[in-house]
């Protein structure tokens, strides 16, 4: 199988729609304001310019948004968990989230009004951790269903936030179905990061929470008078990719950067959707056993698809060695660049950009000495054992 597979998006039309409006300037700024109300629990993560890497591979600039420094969760998903759980609580209180702040939602007054709630999620790790964190902050309970093979670090991280973990013998997509079914019976507040089976309103809240990451990056680039030409976005269900696209679309339209999705071969539902070429989202089945646990999702989020289909230049599927190489590249930078601790689902962009600049595909993607590339390293070493195996000992070297 080829290390990199690419299909151009024949359905790209650059049409704004109801889904891109989710990330309007007004909405994005409202979301950011809520996150700012979190106080010390919220921080702006660094946008690292890897100028030596850019020169080495032959582009003008490479910027990496380092989400390993996102609070104490080491992943961008903190933003989605906080915003979606808070939005769910606000709905119960009959309030718009713009009318409250983080401290109010943590108050005894709110707890007395709500009583005891259980927030339920399906997750490979980071989303579940974010929901557990938010539920704990708001004095509520959480339960997270996780797919087979989930590593101990990710289980422990949720349990340390007082979350209950159920490790299943299913894939992530199976966990989504299970939580959806059980949640209706048990009266849980279901917080899923996809509308494939879950409530579209809740999935929208999760995606909107992610918008703050892209909004930070947009402002950091703008402050330095930099305009990205290419943005490469990893896609599991596609919620993060569509969120980042949505923000940059609303703040740069009609002169948007070129957007591309990145996925592992084992779970390349967006690549398959582009390959089938009929304009509908396609699912992939099987064990989805990529090292990039956060990207091992076979069913696209239909909300995400409406944005990605209209604005992505193309869809890229990668061998797992791409993510592993990206982890090593970021952890061991060229002299003068800063190191970035990036996990398996965060580093695929770095591995891809280094590899593609040695391939003729770079010409089709329009990558050259004038290109300004933006990548999102969405997580740190959330699996410390595998991180060490890959970065220290060369696991998944091909």
Has 77 been annotated as catalytic? yes
Distance of CA 144 to the CA centre of its chain: 18
What angle in degrees, to the nearest 10, is found between the helix axes of 77-93 and 200-223?
130
DSSP notation for 153-189: HHHHHHHTTT-EEEE-SS-HHHHHHHHHHHHHHHT-E
Annotated active-site residue in 65, 66, 74, 124: 124
Q: What sign does the dihedral 202-204-210-215 (CA atoms) show?
A: negative
Which two three-digit tokens encode residue 155?
């289980």
CA distance readout (Å), 389 to 321, 384, 386 = 13, 9, 5
- In degrees, rounded to 5, the angle at the alpha carbon of residue 203 between the alpha carbons of residues 197 and 207 is 140
Q: In this structure, what is the dihedral angle of CA atoms 342, 311, 209, 46, given to the nearest 10 degrees? A: 40
Cα–Cα distance measured from residue 332 to residue 319, given in angstroms and rounded to the nearest whole number: 21
CA distance readout (Å), 306 to 24, 47, 239, 281 = 15, 28, 11, 9
Phi then psi for residue 146, to 5 deg, are -125, 150
Cα–Cα distance measured from residue 398 to residue 396, given in angstroms and rounded to the nearest whole number: 5
Has 91 been annotated as catalytic? no
Cα–Cα distance measured from residue 293 to residue 287, given in angstroms and rounded to the nearest whole number: 11
CA distance readout (Å), 281 to 8, 20, 373 = 15, 17, 27
Annotated active-site residue in 65, 74, 77, 362: 77
Cα–Cα distance measured from residue 386 to residue 389, given in angstroms and rounded to the nearest whole number: 5
Residues classed as catalytic? 77, 124
């Amino acid at each position: 199988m080829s290390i990199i597979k690419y299909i151009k998006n024949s359905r790209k039309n650059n049409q704004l729609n109801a889904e891109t409006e989710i990330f309007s300037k007004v909405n994005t700024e409202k979301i950011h304001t809520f996150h700012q109300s979190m106080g010390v629990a919220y921080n702006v993560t660094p946008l690292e310019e890897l100028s030596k890497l850019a020169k080495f591979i032959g582009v003008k600039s490479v910027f990496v948004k380092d989400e390993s420094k996102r609070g104490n969760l080491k992943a961008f998903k903190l933003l989605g968990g906080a915003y979606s759980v808070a939005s769910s609580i606000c709905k119960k209180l009959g309030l718009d989230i713009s009318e409250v702040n983080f401290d109010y939602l943590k108050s005894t007054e709110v707890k007395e009004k709500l009583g005891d709630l259980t927030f339920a999620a399906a997750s490979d790790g980071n989303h579940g951790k974010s929901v557990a964190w938010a539920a704990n902050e708001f004095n509520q309970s959480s339960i997270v269903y996780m797919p087979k093979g989930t590593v101990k670090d990710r289980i422990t991280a949720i349990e340390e936030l007082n979350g209950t973990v159920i490790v299943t013998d299913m894939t992530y997509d199976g966990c989504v179905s299970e939580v959806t079914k059980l949640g209706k019976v048990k009266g849980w507040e279901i917080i899923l990061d996809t509308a494939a089976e879950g409530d579209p309103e809740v999935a929208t809240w999760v995606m909107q929470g992610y918008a703050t990451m892209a909004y930070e990056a947009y402002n950091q680039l703008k402050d330095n008078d930099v305009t990205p030409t290419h943005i490469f976005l990893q896609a599991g269900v596609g919620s993060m990719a569509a969120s980042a696209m949505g923000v940059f679309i609303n703040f740069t339209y009609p002169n948007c950067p070129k957007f591309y999705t990145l996925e592992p071969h084992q779970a390349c539902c967006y690549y398959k959707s582009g390959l089938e070429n009929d304009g509908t989202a396609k699912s992939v089945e099987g064990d989805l056993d990529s090292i990039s646990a956060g990207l091992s999702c076979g069913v696209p989020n239909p909300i995400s698809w409406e944005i990605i289909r209209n604005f992505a230049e193309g869809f890229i599927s990668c061998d797992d060695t791409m993510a592993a190489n990206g982890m090593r590249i970021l952890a061991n930078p060229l002299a003068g660049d800063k190191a970035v601790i990036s996990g398996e689902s965060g580093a695929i962009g770095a591995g891809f950009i280094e590899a593609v600049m040695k391939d003729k595909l770079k010409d089709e993607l329009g990558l050259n000495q004038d290109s300004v590339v933006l990548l999102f390293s969405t997580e740190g070493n959330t699996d410390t054992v595998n991180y060490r195996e890959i970065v220290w000992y060369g696991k998944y070297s091909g």
